Amino acid sequence: MDFCDAFYNFYSDSDTYEKIKEKFNGQQLTFVNMLYNWSVQDTPSYKAKDAKKKKMATTGTLMKSSSSTHFKQYLSKLISSLNWSFNTLQRKGIHGKAARSDVDFGFLFDIDGVICRGKTVLPSAREAFCKLVDTNGKFRVPVLFVTNAGNTLRQRKAQQLSQLLDIKVHEDQVVMSHSPLRMFKQFHDKHILASGQGPIQEIAQALGFTNVTTIDQFRHHFPTLDMVDHKRRKSAPCGFEEYFPRIEAIILFGEPVRWETNLQLIIDCLLTNGKPSAASSEIPYPHIPVLACNMDLLWMAEACIPRFGHGCFLHCLESLYQKISGRELRYTGLVGKPSELTYHHVDYLLDLQAKDMGTEQLKTIYSVGDNPGSDIYGANLYDRYLKKKAQSRSKFVKQKALQSNGLSLTEVESESHEIDVTVPVGKQSSEEVEENYAQSCESILVCTGVYCSTRDYVTYGAKCASNHNHRDFVLDPELTQPKYVVPNVLEAVNMVFDKEKFK
């Protein structure tokens, strides 16, 4: 694991992460080497134990335990040797002391349709969050805000939430749909074409992408491609088109403003292997990699009926590509809810918060959302993963116990089928998804957003005539069934507190 990422995973501090990257001049330093080199150079007293320490670091023992005093000592000294104040890096300050030492649950809150609609905070949201903080405004239980929005930096989102809810929300508590792209390191140095709106170049760079071209910039280099709007047509072709470096991958951050421009230019890249200065003699397939964030078909703003989400744009893109090329658009990665990868990421982050509060093991994640197709589907999918993983683990333990007695599982049990544990995309590129922390993820549907019991745009289960899930998430009606349905976010918090006997 790269040191900078190890640091980020531990502290989730993007400013310092950038500073460290800058300090090391973009060098790829593995965490193990960094720790090893530093300990040899700066702490002679540790020399005798170098081999043991290196082994510990290699096995990730230190990384996997955020409460490890060794890890904190190493990191503290390293950071102070780099002239940054260790105290400023502490994630302390988000939480107060846990109300009791056995707080073993945490919350994931969706934002649009749960906390607010557009810029308007929903009634009861402030009261709900008052219950979640102590008299000093510190969170009493682990809380993350997990949104499929992707057109802003998470610092900005944290500021918006702080203003809406009148409490201090830290950027560490915000997970955007694009956050897991940090794990797709194999693309970080590729030439990326970024589609979306807002500060997407800044967002891509903050995630680790080093060579980013936005659709607007691309359009400027290839002025004859965008022809739908007559007023935006440019007659003089650019003479440097053929020298423009090939696009190696496309990232779809969120819905763009001018759909026709983005659809045209993205499909041009897919049909020409990333170089639309010359037409290919045949359509390349598989096409260049495509990563997409946020598959929500609809979302709820101030209007009384749901609005187009990024899922609508993806649907148009898939359909056009299929129609033009005769082939299916394939995604290398789909992130944001309901992708399982996003839930691995949030499980990891919630566990860090829990440990900060002195809780060793998080048992239950309560996931509160308004969209059966993303919030509920995603939470149930992750719960299914956790249950299978637990089954698999207990089978393994049982097998080990039997083996030590000279028996095998098949001799004592007729059940011989393998348990299929889903491996998330990008698993190989991150240590954080190798470990899951919670034991279950329970879905709670609120009726203040996309889902509403009195209208039929979106519903769940057998009543649903249409399928709002993304094409690659096969509709399993069972997964769209929430474990609980409550009127609003305040009732969700009350219900969980009752269930957990938390005051």
Distance in Å, CB of 447 to Mg ion, minimum: 12
Q: Which one of 13, 104, 347, 370 is in contact with Mg ion (CB under 5 A)?
A: 370
Q: Which is nearer to Mg ion, 5 or 370 (CB)?
A: 370
Q: Closest separation between CB of residue 204 and Mg ion, Å?
A: 24
Smallest distance from Mg ion to CB 368, Å: 10
Cβ 433 to Mg ion, closest distance in Å? 24
Is 105 or 145 the residue whose CB approaches Mg ion more closely?
145
Q: Which of 104, 110 has the CB closer to Mg ion?
A: 110
Can you tell me which of 112, 172, 347, 351 binds Mg ion, judged by CB under 5 A?
Answer: 112
Region near Mg ion per CB under 5 A, out of 95-103, 111-119, 164-172, 195-203: 111-119
Q: What is the dihedral of CA 329, 332, 335, 340, to 10 degrees?
A: 110
Position 254 contacts Mg ion (CB under 5 A): no
Residue pair 101/137 in contact by the 8 Å Cβ criterion = no
CB of 112 to Mg ion, least distance (A): 4
**Contact flag: residue 172 with Mg ion (CB under 5 A):** no
3-state SS class at 478: helix
Region of 1-9, 314-322, 363-371, 468-476 interacting with Mg ion (CB under 5 A):
363-371
Q: At its nearest, how many Å lie between Mg ion and the CB of residue 26?
A: 37
Minimal CB distance residue for Mg ion: 113
Contacts of 98 (CB under 8 A, 6+ apart): 140, 141, 357, 358, 359
368 is a site residue for Mg ion (CB under 5 A): no
Choice between 289 and 372, CB closer to Mg ion: 372
Q: Which stretch binds Mg ion (CB under 5 A): 18-26, 286-294, 369-377, 427-435?
A: 369-377
Say if residues 270 and 286 touch (Cβ distance below 8 Å). no
Identity of the residue numbered 84: W
> Nearer to Mg ion by C-beta: 370 or 383?
370
* The one segment of 232-240, 306-314, 366-374, 430-438 that binds Mg ion by CB under 5 A: 366-374
The reply on whether position 5 binds Mg ion by CB under 5 A is no
Minimum CB distance to Mg ion smaller for 144 or for 265 = 144
Going by C-beta distance under 8 Å and a sequence separation of 6 or more, which residues neighbour residue 318? 328, 329, 471
User: In the numeric block, which tokens belong to residue 284?
Assistant: 């390349």
User: Residue 450's closest CA among 298, 312, 325?
Assistant: 298
For 442, phi then psi, to 5°, come to: -105, 130
Residue 226 contacts Mg ion per CB under 5 A: no
Is residue 110 a contact point for Mg ion (CB under 5 A)? yes
**113 touching Mg ion, by CB under 5 A:** yes
Strands 120-121 and 116-117: antiparallel
Instruction: For the chain, give the number of residues.
Output: 503
* 208/306 with CB nearer Mg ion: 306
List the one residue out of 169, 146, 106 whose CA is nearest residue 354.
106
Q: If we measure between CA atoms, which residue out of 185, 468, 142 comes closest to residue 337?
A: 468
Pairwise CA distance, residues 446 & 113, whole Å: 8
Nearer to Mg ion, 197 or 294 (CB): 294
Give CA–CA dist 373/461, Å, rounded. 10
* Shortest distance, position 502 Cβ to Mg ion, whole Å: 25
**E-strand spans in 12-142?**
105-109, 116-117, 120-121
Helix (H) or strand (E) holding 5: helix 3-11
Tokens of 393: 């683990």
Q: Is 383 in the site for Mg ion (CB under 5 A)?
A: no
The CB-of-207 to Mg ion minimum distance in angstroms stands at 22
Number of residues that bind Mg ion (CB under 5 A): 5
Burial 127-155 (b: 16+ CB within 10 A, else e): ebbeebbeeeebbbbbbbbbbbbbbbbbe
> Candidates 109-117, 313-321, 332-340, 481-489 — which segment interacts with Mg ion by CB under 5 A?
109-117
State the Cα–Cα distance between residues 21 and 38, nearest whole angstrom: 16
Work out how close the CB of 162 gets to Mg ion at its nearest, in angstroms, rounded to a whole number.
Answer: 19
CB of 183 to Mg ion, least distance (A): 24
Please choose, out of 37-45, 110-118, 341-349, 417-425, the segment that lies near Mg ion by the rule CB under 5 A: 110-118
**Nearest CA to 11 among 73, 109, 88?**
88
Cβ neighbours around 491 below 10 Å, total = 18
- Which residues would be at the binding site for Mg ion (CB under 5 A)? 110, 112-113, 370-371
